[in-house]
Amino acid sequence: MEKIIELKNLTKNFDDQQVLKGINLDIHQNEFLTLLGPSGCGKTTTLRIIAGFEEASSGEVLFDGMDISKIPAYKREINTVFQKYALFPHMNVFDNVAFGLNIKKMDKAVIKTKVERMLAMVGLANYGSKDVTLLSGGQQQRVAIARALVNEPKVLLLDEPLGALDARLRKEMQIELKKIQKEVGITFVFVTHDQEEALSMSDTVVVMNEGTIQQIGTPIDIYNEPENRFVAGFIGESNIIEGVMIRDFLVAFDDFEFVCVDKGFPENEPVDVVIRPEDIDIVQPDKASLKGIVKSVTFKGVHYETIVTTKYRDYRIDTTDYFAVGLEVGLTFTPEDIHVMWQMGSY
């Protein structure tokens, strides 16, 4: 895939605070890329620099290979869906969507066709004359998407666009957004702090924290092979354990040695070990080396969230079997379930 946007060593200071500490990122054509991170990690700032609302303190923003750092927002072939939609309250749905085309002084008849087609695509076919302030959150959201997409941008930026919607509508819009992205075939850059949203929609997830990129990868990579403790903790629930990498394919933690599939670490390197709660099995105590007592059980619908206290720590296990509180149990996992990471700051 061809690169459409390249961020090169981007930094941004607000007063004396550095919110971006050297961002390097390639965004490819037709990619659904998500910037994921907790609030204040710099994801929105990155998006605003791409849109042209903020200027980077240093570094380059390349668009189709050309530096656009000095090009104002209104001249960029990029459109944005804003967090709170930012629909123009003094215009109806049609005029909101037609805004960009009217600015380009396009022919009225052409505008009408384009706007109507776009409204139909987002499922608001007969809403043209409606007052935008009277629409529901989900409908306003669709208008905002239509208003941006009707300009046929090369890149669509979405700044936590689903944040204001309730859980069910959110799910619906996630599916719809993905569908729209496939349909129009352009690059989406999506900002969110919701890891589930990021995993289910994206081709590429960029995990950010404190102004730096922690990991770039597919949702599956990010989930299964987190690069460090932060990514592992932020994406899904994890048991993160400090251990020592004895040698390739052998890691030690909690007084035991376990066979694993990881390699390439120096011998006896201190590491972080991740085991996902759904990868641990609860067995009879005599069938496992790692033993503990069930501390609590919470019913979660599909599974029981079971906390087992062992000698050194509490493990979280998601299992469909029920184990009563106070029961002595053993914990097992296969070599594939163990994921070894470099400790933070040591790479």
Partner 1 sequence: MKHFRKLTGPYFAWLVLFVLIPLVLIAIYAFTTSGNPVKTLNFTLMNFAKINESTYIKVFIKSIEMGILTTGVCLILGYPMAYLIAKCPEEMQDMLIMAVTIPTWINMLLRTYAWMNLLSDNGIINGLLGVLGINPVTMMYTNFSVVVGMVCNFMPFMIIPIHTSLRKMDNSLIEAAMDLGANPFQTFQKVVLKLSMPGVINGIVMVFLMAISSFVIPKLLGGGQFVLIGNLIESQFVSVGDWNFGSAISLILAVLILLAMRFMKKMDVQDN
Q: Which residues make up the interface to partner 1 (CB under 8 A)? A: 51-53, 72-75, 78-80, 82-84, 86-90, 99-100, 103-104, 147-148, 151
Nearer to partner 1, 64 or 336 (CB): 64
CB of 82: closest distance to partner 1 in angstroms? 5
CB of 145 to partner 1, least distance (A): 13
For partner 1, the closer CB: 51 or 297: 51
Q: Work out how close the CB of 83 gets to partner 1 at its nearest, in angstroms, rounded to a whole number.
A: 7
Q: How far is the CB of 248 from partner 1 (least distance, A)?
A: 51
Q: Is 156 exposed, middle or buried (0-12, 13-18, 19+ CB in 10 A)?
A: buried
Least distance from partner 1 to the Cβ atom of residue 97, Å: 10
**147 vs 193, beta carbon nearer partner 1:** 147
Q: Which residue number, 100 or 330, has a Cβ lying nearer to partner 1?
A: 100
* Measured distance CA(31)–CA(186) in Å, rounded: 7
Q: In whole angstroms, how close is the CB of 36 to partner 1 at the nearest point?
A: 22
Tell me if residue 115 falls in helix, strand or coil.
helix
Residue 147 CA, chain-centre distance (Å), reads: 24
Nearer CB in complex with partner 1: 51/331: 51
CB of 346 to partner 1, least distance (A): 41
Residues 6+ apart with CB under 8 A from 239: 274, 275, 276, 277, 280, 313, 315, 316
- The CA-CA-CA angle for residues 170, 175, 179, to 5°, reads 140
Measured in degrees and rounded to the nearest 5, phi and psi for residue 317 equal -130, 130
Q: What are the C-alpha distances in Å from 209 to residues 17, 238, 247, 312?
A: 15, 18, 30, 29
Helices (H), 192-249: 195-201, 219-224, 229-234
Q: Which amino acid would we find at residue 243? A: G
CB burial of residue 137 (10 Å; 0-12, 13-18, 19+):
middle
Measured distance CA(91)–CA(149) in Å, rounded: 18
In the bound state with partner 1, the residue whose beta carbon lies nearer, of 119 and 148, is 148
Tokens for 149, please give them: 């997409």
Identify which of residues 72 and 345 has a Cβ nearer to partner 1 in the complex.
72
